[in-house]
Amino acid sequence: DQFTVALDPDTTNEEIVFITANSSDTFTIVRARAGTSGVQHSAGATVKHVLTSDDLNAFKLAISPVASMGFAGSTSGSTTVQATAVAGTTTLTLPAATDTLVGKATTDTLTNKTLTSPTINDAKQNLTLNAQTGTTYTFVLADNGKLVTLDNASSITVTVPANSSVAYATGAIINLQQIGAGQVTVTGAAGVTINGTGTKTRAQWSAASLVKTATDTWTLIGDVTT
């Protein structure tokens, strides 16, 4: 530990000295510091406690990195930001906007995010059902990726709308299944082409999938007949 004083400050004889120890009224002094020279001073010379660049460097070297930082909550709680052990220097970049961070241990919803080359383990997706009981039905945008079940004793006609009406993305898939006695016929609205080996379900419980392959072109794949 030490402190710094200036002898004859603000004069041509100014000298910076470090006082590094004391014993009673006796001090250990290191002279000619901070770029000054050791000069002779008269008895009664002015002495001032000062701060030099050497002091600031000593403060800097004495500061240890903070491993964690606490933040008081809006109520009685608090949050601690804890840094993990790393071999080098790492940088955490925060978004330049008001935002909410997503945690590993919390349940969160991601909206409008793009995953680039992700590894998704044990991915499962359950089909959402759209149960229809009428004799006619026109597919809607929300049917993309769903299973539309069709249950009626009479014949059923389902229609694929034109892209100008419902703009499915190319590659969209609509699944359908006849679960009643009424046979299902798949038709396209004006300007829509349905390709496949047939346009009707073969029997009760037959299922098929419509795949959009171009703007107004779909392929019907599955247990179908003409």
Residues 115-139 have pLDDT tens digits of 899 888 887 788 999 999 999 999 9
**How much is the pLDDT for 26?**
84
Nearest partner of 224 among 186, 180, 181, 172, judged by Cα: 186
Q: Indicate the average pLDDT of the chain.
A: 90
Q: What is the pTM of this model?
A: 0.55
52 neighbors 33 (Cβ within 8 angstroms) = yes
173 neighbors 145 (Cβ within 8 angstroms) = yes
Q: Please say if the pLDDT value at position 177 is more than 90.
A: yes
**How much is the pLDDT for 60?**
66
Q: Take residue 2 and report the two structure tokens written for it.
A: 């030490």
Nearest partner of 19 among 29, 34, 5, judged by Cα: 29
* Domains of the chain, CATH where assigned: 3-62 (no CATH), 129-225 (2.60.120)
- Tally the C-alpha atoms within 13 A of residue 57's C-alpha that lie toward its C-beta: 4
Q: Among 19-28, 56-65, 179-188, which range has the highest average pLDDT?
A: 179-188
**How much is the pLDDT for 205?**
98
| Mean pLDDT score, 85-102 | 84
**How much is the pLDDT for 101?**
84
List all residues 6 or more positions away from 43 whose beta carbon is below 8 Å from its beta carbon: none
**How much is the pLDDT for 83?**
78
